[in-house]
Amino acid sequence: MSEFDVDLFVIGAGSGGVRAARIAGGYGARVMVAEEFRFGGTCVIRGCVPKKLLVYASRFAHEFEDAAGYGWTVGEPTFDWPTLIANKDREIARLEAAYIATLERSKVEMVRSRAVIEDRHTIRLVKDNKTVRAKTILVATGGWPHMGPNIPGLEHIISSNEALHLDAMPKRILIQGGGYIAVEFACIFAGLGSEVTLVYRGENILRGFDDDVREHLRNEMRKRGIVVTCGHTVTEVGKAGDEFSVKLSDGSSVTVDKAMFAIGRRPNCMNIGLEKLGVRCHEHGGIEVDAYSRTAVPNIYAVGDVTNRVNLTPVAIREGHAFADTVFGNRPTKVDHNLVPTAVFSEPEIGVIGLTEAQARKELAQVDIYKTSFRPMKATLSGRDTRVFMKLVVDGTSDRVVGCHIVGPDAGEIIQVLGIAVKMGATKADFDATMAVHPTAAEELVTMREKAASYKRAAAE
Ligand code: FAD
Ligand 1 atom 7: residue of nearest CA: 12
The predicted pLDDT at position 280 comes to 87
The predicted pLDDT at position 285 comes to 82
Interval 254-259 mean pLDDT: 98
Could you tell me the fold of the domain covering 6-145+266-328? FAD/NAD(P)-binding domain (3.50.50)
Q: Give the mutation target among 23, 39, 45, 48 for probing the ligand 1 site: most ligand atoms within 8 A of CB.
A: 48
CATH 3.50.50.60 intervals, the chain: 6-145+266-328, 154-263
CB-count burial class (<10 Å; 0-12, 13-18, 19+) for 202: exposed
Interval 77-95 mean pLDDT: 98
Separation between Cα atoms, residue 173 and residue 195, nearest integer Å = 6
Give residue-wise pLDDT tens across range 146-173.
999 999 999 999 999 999 999 999 999 9
* Residues ≥6 apart with Cβ < 8 Å to 46: 160, 161, 164
Ligand 1 atom 46: residue of nearest CA: 313
Give the chain's length. 461
The predicted pLDDT at position 283 comes to 74
What is the distance in A from the centroid of ligand 1 to the CA of 54? 18
Interval 46-50 mean pLDDT: 98
Ligand 1 atom 29: residue of nearest CA: 48
The predicted pLDDT at position 460 comes to 58
What is the distance in A from the centroid of ligand 1 to the CA of 448? 38
Interval 289-315 mean pLDDT: 97
What is the distance in A from the centroid of ligand 1 to the CA of 304? 8
Q: What is the DSSP string of 159-181?
A: -HHHHTT-SS--SEEEEE--SHH
The predicted pLDDT at position 290 comes to 97
Of 262, 252, 238, nearest to 158 by C-alpha is 262
The predicted pLDDT at position 281 comes to 86
Q: What is the pTM of this model?
A: 0.97
Ligand 1 atom 15: residue of nearest CA: 141
Ligand 1 atom 9: residue of nearest CA: 41
What is the distance in A from the centroid of ligand 1 to the CA of 385? 36
> Residue 340: what residue type?
V
Evaluate if residue 24 carries a pLDDT over 70.
yes
Residue 461 binned pLDDT confidence (cut-offs 50, 70, 90): low
Interval 239-248 mean pLDDT: 96
**Which stretches of 355-439 are assigned E, i.e. beta strand?**
366-374, 388-395, 401-407
Interval 421-450 mean pLDDT: 98
Ligand 1 atom 45: residue of nearest CA: 312
Cis peptide bond upstream of 439, omega within 30: yes
Separation between Cα atoms, residue 393 and residue 353, nearest integer Å = 10
Interval 98-105 mean pLDDT: 97
Residue 209 binned pLDDT confidence (cut-offs 50, 70, 90): very high
Of 348, 324, 163, nearest to 259 by C-alpha is 163
The predicted pLDDT at position 459 comes to 66
CATH 3.30.390.30 intervals, the chain: 342-456
Residue 1 binned pLDDT confidence (cut-offs 50, 70, 90): low
Cis peptide bond upstream of 409, omega within 30: no
Helix (H, G, I), strand (E, B) or coil at 332: coil
For β-strands 300-302 and 130-139, DSSP reports them as parallel
The predicted pLDDT at position 221 comes to 98
Residues with beta carbon inside 6 Å of ligand 1?
11-17, 34-37, 41-43, 47-48, 51, 114-116, 140-143, 160, 181, 268, 272, 304-306, 311-314, 316
321 φ, ψ (degrees, to nearest 5): -65, -45
Q: What does the angle CA 141 – CA 146 – CA 353 come to, to the nearest 5 degrees? A: 75
Evaluate if residue 34 carries a pLDDT over 60.
yes
Q: Report the sign of the C-alpha dihedral through residues 49, 53, 56, 58, in that order.
A: negative
Evaluate if residue 111 carries a pLDDT over 80.
yes
Interval 438-449 mean pLDDT: 98
Q: Give the mutation target among 128, 281, 313 for probing the ligand 1 site: most ligand atoms within 8 A of CB.
A: 313
Mean pLDDT of the chain: 97
Separation between Cα atoms, residue 115 and residue 36, nearest integer Å = 8
> Residue 14: what residue type?
G
Give residue-wise pLDDT tens across range 135-149.
999 999 999 999 999
What is the distance in A from the centroid of ligand 1 to the CA of 208? 21
Rg over alpha carbons for the chain, rounded to the nearest Å, is 24
* Architecture category of domain 342-456 in CATH: 2-Layer Sandwich (3.30)
Helix (H, G, I), strand (E, B) or coil at 455: strand
Give residue-wise pLDDT tens across range 315-361.
999 999 999 999 999 999 999 999 999 999 999 999 999 999 999 99
Q: What amino acid positions are annotated as catalytic residues? A: 438
Homologous superfamily assigned to 154-263: FAD/NAD(P)-binding domain (3.50.50.60)
**How many angstroms separate the first and last alpha carbons of the chain?**
65
How many C-beta atoms lie closer than 10 Å to residue 266's C-beta?
19
What is the distance in A from the centroid of ligand 1 to the CA of 267? 10
